[in-house]
């Protein structure tokens, strides 16, 4: 598909930070890390903030990062692979995060799971700050006008990362699928 090819060409060209100034250090999130304590994620509307580091403090959680709400890879394969997974309920609290605004992520979530049966919550990271703090952003300027999230799945327990599955080419649907992560 033309768009996937364009995305691959873009990401293989190397990562260039889209923003020059960072107020906090970025380090690629790894096993044992906690999530950054930021108040930038939003759910359903711009005023509805979600602090994920608080949400994942106890029990099991799963964060799924995607490059683009409504894009074919994200919509047709990656997220449905989780929605339809037989062991989804054992994964604890599940969040999908995209560098999109919350109107878009809400509409996308509704299109993928109209009745919310999966329990998956769709969050927006409109400024990309949360994603950049995990060092999981790539430069999507050419196609998207700004930074976007790599495709990834982070498994957490009691607030700490126990497994990190990050697509090596940023956008492929290989190591971060429901099959690979949930079994």
Catalytic residues: 74
How many helices (H) and strands (E) the chain has is answered by: 8, 9
Q: How far is the CB of 1 from another protein (least distance, A)?
A: 8
What are the residues facing 122 on neighbouring strands? Answer: 96
61 vs 105, beta carbon nearer another protein? 105
Is the CB of residue 116 less than 8 Å from the CB of residue 84? no
Residues of this chain that interact with another protein (CB under 8 A) are: 1-3, 6-7, 46, 68-72, 99-101, 103-104, 106-108, 111, 124-128, 141, 143-146
69 vs 94, beta carbon nearer another protein? 69
Closest CA to 71 of 108, 27, 118: 108
Residue ranges in 87-128 assigned as alpha helix (H): 102-112
Is the CB of residue 140 less than 8 Å from the CB of residue 146? yes
Q: How far is the CB of 84 from another protein (least distance, A)?
A: 20
- C-alpha separations of 130 from 1, 24, 90 in Å: 30, 11, 25
92 vs 146, beta carbon nearer another protein? 146
Q: How far is the CB of 32 from another protein (least distance, A)?
A: 30
| Pairing verdict, β 160-166 and 60-66 | unpaired
8 vs 93, beta carbon nearer another protein? 8
Q: How far is the CB of 53 from another protein (least distance, A)?
A: 20
DSSP state of 177: S
């Amino acid at each position: 598909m033309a768009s996937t090819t364009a995305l691959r060409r873009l990401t293989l060209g190397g990562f260039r930070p889209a923003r020059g100034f960072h107020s906090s250090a970025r380090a690629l999130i790894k096993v044992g890390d906690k999530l950054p304590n930021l108040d930038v994620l939003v759910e359903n509307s711009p005023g509805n903030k979600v602090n994920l580091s608080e949400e994942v403090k106890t029990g099991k959680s799963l964060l799924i990062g995607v490059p683009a709400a409504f894009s074919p890879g994200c919509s047709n394969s990656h997220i449905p692979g989780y929605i339809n997974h037989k062991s989804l309920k054992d994964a604890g609290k599940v969040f999908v995060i995209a560098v999109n605004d919350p109107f878009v992520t809400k509409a996308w979530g509704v299109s993928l799971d109209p009745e919310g049966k999966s329990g998956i919550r769709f969050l927006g990271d409109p400024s990309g700050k949360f994603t950049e703090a995990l060092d999981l952003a790539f430069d999507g300027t050419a196609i998207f006008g700004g930074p976007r999230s790599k495709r990834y799945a982070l498994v957490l327990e009691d607030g700490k990362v126990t497994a990190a599955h990050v697509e090596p080419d940023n956008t492929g649907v290989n190591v971060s699928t429901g099959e690979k992560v949930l079994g």
